[in-house]
């Protein structure tokens, strides 16, 4: 993900300028982030020698190790969240936009496919289910991975133009929020009764409506909305199953 | 540099002879692919001359012994290792042998990828065939579901083919244009729905465990795989030419899940077992008829006008038996799936 975040910083982002809201991470200004001097140094992450080279590039010289392990940091170093590409206000605004069922879907709404929001939602779902007595973290992650892969394969087979896997995973994760709310309800009340089924069905349809709307807009498959929505509803129903029925 | 004085074998291809760099700027300058001995020896001289430092170069060029290939050893100007034949460019592949080597490598890689693509790319996951199976439309899905559950009144069962200008058949039409074409969208969706419904059924009996999702999926996929294996084996044993592709057979095997879903639904709606079993029997019969009618064009290929039948009468009767056995075999499979 960090590589993708750097693509945001150092190159113009792919979405066109007529996006209704500026939903790009950290907006459109790239060059002035922390000066151009530090830019090449942080281009590669996780390489052992990069700390030294980073120190050298900024002109800090042999103080590289000290700066890395101390609290001073390098000159012009961005804050950690910004460097990692985690932007909480952006995640919140994107979630609100995605889940509003009355909006018109803009096809560029998910052009910056960040995975931090979805990851947070899956983890939150796992935590709520754990509190309600169903420790199923592994199943949630496995289902998320398998479901994203299957929807990615299916959408690429069904649509004339393709879609990339990051965007699929991002859309599916953001649209999971109603399911997270239902699992929050399941903490206090058991959902294994009639109104629980109804609530779960309602949240599944809300998730599916949001996700299929985005996919149909991105892939321009307007007459096949139901065909796209059905597999996504199956995926969210699996999550609903995990939320409703506790393992015996 | 004067080429006329050099007595070296004329290279078979025209190569560009640039000014060689005074120091080796690329590792390719030290890499020599084996070629004619004269070139090789000359290259060795050249390589050896590069290792001593730059200022000593003119003396070293003159100090080397003069083999029969000596004419190229004579420098024309100091500071230049004056080899008149192919010399490498800066980072380029202008060396003839290097070019030959590169092209050999490229063709080898190309041949390898072609081999993999032909033998394994088409066999394991035939992507183009898969894409063809997923070109469905809303109306196709609705009509096909109706056809699977009520196949009694449907008239033409043959698949439409794409006709090119010469009248040749170019493959079958996509599912969205031909109701009789099998697709993979409905079977795969039906399989996943079946897994979910059986999980819901277990959950209503408070016997749900997330593990059961994976177990049911695996057993359903195994049922499909087993049936496809049997049908292919029978086609081979009966010597049916041009039998349906594996993708089509998987599609035909997956249509039974639609009926099984209907059966499980009635299980939710009623508690009386005779309703449940009558729905099951009806679904089985409908699926059997659907399969017999659809596979008829696979097992008994229609002979075009003027072309002799490719099978004899006994073969024909055997193939008809085969069709009915396939239809009857659905029953134990469906029982198995319903009981899981």
Whole-angstrom distance, CA of residue A170 vs CA of residue B23: 53
| Cβ-defined contact of A227 to B203 (cutoff 8 Å) | no
Give the chain A residue nearest B196 (alpha carbons).
A238
Rounded to an integer, what is the distance from CA A165 to the centroid of its chain?
Answer: 12
The answer to whether B248 and B255 have CB atoms below 8 angstroms apart is: no
A contacts of B187 (beta carbons < 8 Å): none
pLDDT at A61: 54
Q: Any bridge partners for residue B161, and if so which?
A: B172
From the list A158, A244, A245, the residue facing B134 with the nearest CB is: A158
A contacts of B141 (beta carbons < 8 Å): 227
B contacts of A231 (beta carbons < 8 Å): 189, 192
Whole-angstrom distance, CA of residue A111 vs CA of residue A90: 13
Best residue of A125, A140, A247 to probe chain B, by most B CBs closer than 10 Å: A247
| Cβ-defined contact of B210 to A231 (cutoff 8 Å) | no
User: Per residue in B120-170, pLDDT tens?
Assistant: 555 555 677 788 888 888 889 999 999 988 888 887 877 777 766 665 566
**Higher confidence at residue B171 or residue A203?**
A203
Whole-angstrom distance, CA of residue B15 vs CA of residue B86: 7
Question: Which H or E run includes A124?
Answer: helix A116-131
Cα distance from B7 to chain A (closest Cα, Å)? 52
| Cβ-defined contact of B196 to A237 (cutoff 8 Å) | yes
User: Per residue in B222-258, pLDDT tens?
Assistant: 989 988 888 888 888 877 776 668 888 888 889 989 9
pLDDT at B58: 45
pLDDT at A158: 87
| Cβ-defined contact of A223 to B130 (cutoff 8 Å) | no
Answer yes or no: is pLDDT of B182 > 70: yes
Whole-angstrom distance, CA of residue B66 vs CA of residue B75: 13
User: Per residue in A98-139, pLDDT tens?
Assistant: 777 777 666 677 777 788 889 999 999 999 999 998 888 999
pLDDT at A203: 93
Residue A29 CB neighbour total at 10 angstroms: 8
| Cβ-defined contact of B209 to A223 (cutoff 8 Å) | no
Side-chain half-sphere CA neighbours of A106 within 13 A: 17
Cα distance from B149 to chain A (closest Cα, Å)? 20
**Higher confidence at residue A174 or residue A39?**
A174
**Higher confidence at residue A3 or residue B314?**
B314
**Higher confidence at residue A214 or residue B82?**
A214
From the list A158, A227, A241, the residue facing B199 with the nearest CB is: A241
| Cβ-defined contact of B210 to A242 (cutoff 8 Å) | yes
- For chain A, the C-alpha Rg in angstroms (whole number) is 21
Answer yes or no: is pLDDT of B59 > 50: no
pLDDT at B106: 87
Whole-angstrom distance, CA of residue A247 vs CA of residue B213: 12
B145 close contact with A: CB closer than 8 A: no
Cα distance from B142 to chain A (closest Cα, Å)? 11
Q: Over range B211-224, report the average pLDDT.
A: 90
Whole-angstrom distance, CA of residue B220 vs CA of residue B78: 81
Express as a percent the part of chain B with pLDDT over 90: 10
Q: Over range A27-50, report the average pLDDT.
A: 41
Residue B53 CB neighbour total at 10 angstroms: 9
A contacts of B130 (beta carbons < 8 Å): 157
Give the chain A residue nearest B199 (alpha carbons).
A241
User: Per residue in A157-212, pLDDT tens?
Assistant: 888 888 888 889 999 999 999 999 999 999 998 888 889 999 999 999 999 998 88
Cα distance from A230 to chain B (closest Cα, Å)? 8
B303 close contact with A: CB closer than 8 A: no
Closest CA to B186 of B266, B124, B245, B253: B253
Please tell me whether the interface predicted TM-score (ipTM) of this complex is above 0.90.
no
Q: How high does pLDDT run on average in chain B?
A: 73
Q: Over range B37-56, report the average pLDDT.
A: 46
The answer to whether B94 and B86 have CB atoms below 8 angstroms apart is: yes
pLDDT at A86: 79
| Cβ-defined contact of A234 to B141 (cutoff 8 Å) | no
| Cβ-defined contact of A241 to B193 (cutoff 8 Å) | no
- Per-domain residue ranges for chain A? 2-81, 88-244
pLDDT at B56: 45
Answer yes or no: is pLDDT of A154 > 80: yes
Give the chain B residue nearest A230 (alpha carbons).
B189
Question: Which H or E run includes B162?
Answer: strand B161-163
**Higher confidence at residue B243 or residue B206?**
B206
The pLDDT-based confidence of B340 (bands split at 50, 70, 90) is: low
pLDDT at B14: 60
pLDDT at A126: 94
Question: Which H or E run includes B172?
Answer: strand B169-172
Cα distance from B133 to chain A (closest Cα, Å)? 9
Whole-angstrom distance, CA of residue B110 vs CA of residue B104: 10
Answer yes or no: is pLDDT of B270 > 80: yes
Answer yes or no: is pLDDT of B303 > 80: no
């Amino acid at each position: 993900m960090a590589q993708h975040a750097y693509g945001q910083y150092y190159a113009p982002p792919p979405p066109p300028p007529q996006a209704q809201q500026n939903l790009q991470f950290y907006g459109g200004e790239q060059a002035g982030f922390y000066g151009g001097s530090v830019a090449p140094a942080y281009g590669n992450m996780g390489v052992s020698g990069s700390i030294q080279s980073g120190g050298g590039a900024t002109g800090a010289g042999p103080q590289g190790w000290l700066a890395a392990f101390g609290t001073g940091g390098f000159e012009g170093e961005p804050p950690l969240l910004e460097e990692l590409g985690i932007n909480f206000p952006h995640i919140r605004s994107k979630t609100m936009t995605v889940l509003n069922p009355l909006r018109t879907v803009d096809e560029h709404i998910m052009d910056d496919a960040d995975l931090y929001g979805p990851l947070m939602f899956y983890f939150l779902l796992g935590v709520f289910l754990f509190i309600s007595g169903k420790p199923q973290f592994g199943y949630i992650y496995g289902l998320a991975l398998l479901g994203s892969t299957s929807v990615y394969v299916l959408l690429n087979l069904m649509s004339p133009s393709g879609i990339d896997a990051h965007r699929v995973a991002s859309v599916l994760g953001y649209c999971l929020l109603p399911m997270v709310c239902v699992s929050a309800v399941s903490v206090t009340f058991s959902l294994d009764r009639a109104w629980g089924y109804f609530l779960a069905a309602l949240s599944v349809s809300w998730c599916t409506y949001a996700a299929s709307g985005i996919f149909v807009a991105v892939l321009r498959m307007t007459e096949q909305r139901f065909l796209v929505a059905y597999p996504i509803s199956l995926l969210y129903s699996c999550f609903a199953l995990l939320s409703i029925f506790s393992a015996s | 540099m004067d080429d006329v004085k050099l007595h070296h074998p004329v290279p078979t291809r025209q190569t560009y002879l640039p000014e060689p760099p005074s120091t080796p700027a690329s590792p390719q300058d030290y890499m020599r692919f084996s070629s004619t001995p004269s070139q090789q020896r000359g290259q060795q001289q050249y390589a050896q001359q590069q290792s001593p430092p730059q200022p000593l170069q003119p003396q070293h060029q003159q100090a080397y012994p003069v083999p029969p290939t000596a004419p190229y050893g004579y420098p024309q100007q100091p500071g230049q290792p004056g080899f008149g034949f192919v010399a490498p460019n800066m980072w380029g592949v202008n060396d003839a042998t290097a070019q030959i080597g590169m092209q050999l490598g490229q063709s080898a890689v190309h041949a390898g990828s072609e081999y993999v693509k032909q033998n394994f790319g088409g066999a394991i996951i035939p992507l183009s065939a898969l894409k063809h199976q997923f070109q469905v439309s809303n109306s196709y899905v609705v009509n096909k579901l109706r056809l699977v559950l009520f196949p009694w009144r449907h008239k033409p069962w043959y698949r439409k083919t794409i006709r090119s200008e010469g009248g040749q058949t170019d493959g079958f039409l996509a599912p969205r244009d031909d109701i009789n074409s099998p697709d993979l969208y409905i079977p795969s969706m039906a399989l996943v729905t079946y897994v979910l419904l059986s999980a819901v059924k277990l959950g209503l009996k408070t016997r749900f465990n997330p593990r059961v999702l994976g177990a049911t999926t695996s057993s359903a996929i195994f049922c499909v795989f087993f049936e496809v294996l049997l049908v292919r084996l029978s086609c081979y044993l009966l010597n049916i030419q041009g039998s349906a592709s594996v993708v089509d057979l998987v599609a035909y095997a997956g249509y039974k899940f639609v009926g099984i879903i209907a059966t499980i639904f009635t299980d939710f709606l009623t508690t009386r077992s005779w309703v449940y079993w009558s729905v099951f029997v009806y679904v089985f019969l409908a699926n059997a008829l659907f399969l017999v009618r659809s596979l008829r064009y696979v097992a008994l290929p229609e002979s075009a006008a003027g072309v002799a039948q490719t099978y004899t009468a006994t073969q024909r009767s055997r193939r008809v038996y085969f069709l009915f056995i396939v239809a009857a075999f659905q029953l134990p499979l469906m029982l198995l799936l319903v009981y899981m």
